[in-house]
Structure 1
Amino acid sequence: MTRFFRSAAARRTAGAAVLVLMLAIAVLSLVPSGDLPPVEGSDKLKHFIAYGCLGGALTLALGPGRAVRAFLITIIYGALMEVAQGLAPTGREFSLLDEAANILGAGLGTSLALVLRR
């Protein structure tokens, strides 16, 4: 199983997942919250899961030796989405707690991807 996570096919699949995740996160971050369907659960948990998935997929897509880069790209993307929320006229706002959840999720996702790749 771990051999798959080291393959070129896994990197391509993860790269496609990164694009889908980035697009989904952008849409969900920038659409007015009233326009989104209600989903039960903690907002911070949703951030944690979304950025965990993104961090893990990006770590697999970038390949060996680039986990720190994947982690940094993920947290920078999260910060940009938070700033965009604060600037967009959608009624959404910037939140340091959301960014903290993004960072924690990115860290866990990156770590899990490293474990899978071993």
Structure 2
Amino acid sequence: MSASPRRFGRSFKPFKRPWLWAGLWILAIACVVVGSLLPSSDLPSVKVNDKVEHFVAYAVLSAGAVQLFARRLSWGFVCVLLVLMGIGLEVLQAQMGLGRMLDRNDALANTIGVLIGLATAMTPLRDVLLRFDRRL
């Protein structure tokens, strides 16, 4: 009798390398947190509107959740947490006194990014990482 393969978690898709993909996603979250809390003078100058940066960052994090998790409930839970994280980081920026300020439009761009990333669940793109993982 052969042992069945152990799953990473009930909500995760059946990856060969779940720790790798989950680790990279958590690293991306950490990068957004650190980038949000660094003084603006310590950040590289990018020739893009900062609202676009917020939108793209949170869309990528949300789409990453769609790639990792198999269950809709997990997608929703993670997306709510991402929206709350974006709002919380805006509040922290204002309270830390490092030359950053709370910007409601940044929080709105984050939220719209989360929704767009979540919308990838309704497309054939939702299993791209799983297919890539199986080819490796």
Q: TM-score range by the shorter chain?
A: 0.7 to 0.9
Q: Flag as ranges the 4+ runs of structure 1 deviating above 3 A.
A: 9-14
Instruction: Determine which of 8, 29, 32 is the counterpart of 1:25.
Output: 32
> Which structure has the higher relative contact order (CA within 8 Å, separation 6+)?
1
Q: What number of residue pairs does the alignment pair up?
A: 114
TM-score calculated relative to the size of structure 1: 0.84
C-alpha displacement at 1:76, in angstroms?
A: 1.0
Deviations 1:52-75 (A, max 9, x none): 011111233233222211211111
Kindly provide the amino acid, as one letter, of the partner of residue 76 in structure 1.
Answer: L
Which residue among 56, 60, 67 is the counterpart of 1:60?
67
Shift of 1:11: 4.9
What is the SS of the residue equivalent to 1:94?
Answer: coil
Identity %: 27
Which segments of 5 or more consecutive residues in structure 2 lack a partner in the other structure?
A: 1-12, 128-136
* CA–CA distance in structure 2, aligned partners of residues 12 and 114 of structure 1: 25
For the aligned residue pairs, the C-alpha RMSD in angstroms reads 2.1
- Asked if 2 retains the 8 angstrom alpha-carbon contact of 1:59 and 1:71, the reply is no
State the distance in 1 between where 2:49 and 2:112 align: 15
TM-score, normalization by structure 2: 0.74
Higher percent of residues as helix: 1
